[in-house]
Amino acid sequence: MPRYLCLFFILPCIHMITAAFTLSTSYGENTVQQNAQKTWCYYPAADQTRDTSCAGDFTLVSRVHLNTTISIGYYAPDNTRYGGAEWSVPLTNPGKVTLCVSGRAQDGTYQTACMFVSADNSLPIDDGCWIAVAQSTVTDGCYEPGQPAYTITSSLSTIPAATATATTTFMPSLAHRLGRFRKGLIFTCSHLIQIHKQACPWLSLWFSSSRRQLLE
């Protein structure tokens, strides 16, 4: 076989086996590394952000990423997906390439980060966007979405049909809990007064006055 034909078949294979992540890559306490199944996964630092949406250059691409099922993705300028951790950033003229990663920290909080990259094994999170949102479904085994802390939905035509959704846990306010306590206290006192008012007639008059003050 002519040598130039050998190169024709070999060169594409060289590009295919060159992965975007070949080394464990960190930024601060944020890390992309392989799990036990040799899948490249993102492990964020705990409680880095409470924001629920990106802005500017990362608004659309973050929503696209949240509607995928792979935790690591590279995206083109038009927000179409190039590939996952196996996609290699071109060595020359890569253009605007966005890397988005999603994962779960050790404290159980979720995080998605999107950033511009120009090389493999790169995680410049500080120049990108951080949000405390997880994907609704993950198929690469990197993390379990469970019940993400926030809800994100999108009606933009550029976003795939699936929508990342979550449930926000309702926590009763302090005023609400104090109100319930006061009602319980009044009920308990009322029950005791009914038992003892025969023995202490003056106690009934005192309770009636105190009850009006509590309810005001």
Per-residue pLDDT of the chain (216 residues; tens, 9 = 90+): 454 444 444 344 433 333 478 999 999 999 999 999 999 999 999 988 999 999 999 999 999 999 999 999 999 999 999 999 999 998 887 889 999 999 999 989 999 999 999 999 999 998 899 999 999 999 999 999 975 444 444 434 444 444 343 333 334 444 444 444 444 444 444 544 454 455 455 545 555 555 555 445
Cβ pair 19, 88 in contact under 8 A: yes
Rounded to whole angstroms, the Cα distance separating 176 from 144 reads 33
What's the pTM value of the predicted model, to 2 decimals?
Answer: 0.60
Q: What whole-number distance in Å separates Cα of residue 128 and Cα of residue 148?
A: 21
Contacts for 153-156: CB closer than 8 Å, 24+ residues apart? 154/63, 154/67, 156/60, 156/63
* Range 134-156 burial, b when 16+ CB lie within 10 A, else e: bbbebebebbebeebbbebebee
Return the domain boundaries, the chain. Answer: 3-131, 174-215
Strand, helix or coil at 171? coil
Exposed e or buried b for every residue in 68-83, given b needs 16+ CB within 10 A? bebbbbbbeeebebbe
